Amino acid sequence: MTVRVEREKEAGVAVVTLDREHRHNAVDLDTAAELSAVWREFRSDEEVRAVVLTGAGTAAFCTGIDRSARVPQPASPYSVDDPLLTIGPKSCDLWKPVIAAVNGMACGGAFYLLGEAEFIVSSTEATYFDPHTSYGMVSAYEAVYMAQRMPFGEVARMSLMGTAERLSARRAHEIGLVSELAEPGELLEAALRSARTLAGFPTEAVQGTVRALWSAKRAALAQALDQAPALIALGNLPPERQPELFGSRRAGAGFRLR
């Protein structure tokens, strides 16, 4: 299993951990399927009333799709299979509150998850960035999700600067992407405090409020996401050229933290 679930039954809280520390918690096809299954299971689990989502270890919360994953694509130019589209709780029709506890790097496809969390508690050591443009890929879904949570100029800068720049936890808090900062050793407990509070309220009222909050932006989000497949098809480098860019990268080199 690549997704670990732990329950505090008395508190009504579940902790969902991406458990691929050796791959910086990147999402492969098995992980994507397990996440979808977990969210759907929680829909009918009355003992779970709030969720904390985090990653194993301290280096990374999630680094998006695992580059070793092979995703067969349909022959039709009008169809695209993206395994990350159903890894978030809202895409699986879960309206119980989800708090993200970001414990390290959060980049690329991690924003599918952060984009569907109610709010983010971040380690002071966490960083946020979107590498797509550096590797000849369009940031479409990721940019759209973050545009719902960040000022336009900030998400534009992060999406366009690729691997050249990383957003610090402090800056993420200043612009409202992150709602609370915690020291690395206190991160999970900080997120759990909020989750336990939410789980202690009548769940019908909490879920109704979650649904109301999302309805405020859901129409614009759906319209924007509808454009993503075409933009990716038009703007991505051919698959055979992308490995050249990935192969020339050097870990941790050349980025500026702000």
pLDDT at 250 over 60: no
Q: How far apart are CA 26 and CA 52, in angstroms?
A: 18
User: What's the CATH class of domain 1-67+83-184+194-248?
Assistant: alpha beta
pLDDT at 248 over 80: no
What is the predicted pLDDT for the residue at 77? 65
User: What's this model's pTM, rounded to 2 decimal places?
Assistant: 0.90
Task: Kindly indicate the confidence band of residue 6, based on its pLDDT and cuts at 50, 70 and 90.
Answer: very high
Q: What is the pLDDT of residue 231?
A: 83
Span 194-231, pLDDT tens digits: 999 999 999 999 999 999 999 988 888 888 888 888 88
Write the pLDDT tens digit of every residue in 124-135. Answer: 999 999 999 999
| Backbone φ/ψ region at 25: left (φ over 0), alpha (ψ -120 to 50), beta | left
What percentage of the chain has pLDDT greater than the value 90?
75
User: 181 - beta bridge partners?
Assistant: 122
The mean pLDDT value of the chain amounts to 91
Return phi, psi of residue 67, to 5°: -65, -20
pLDDT at res. 55: 98
Q: What is the pLDDT of residues 139-187, one digit of tens each?
A: 999 999 999 999 999 999 999 999 999 999 999 999 999 999 999 999 9
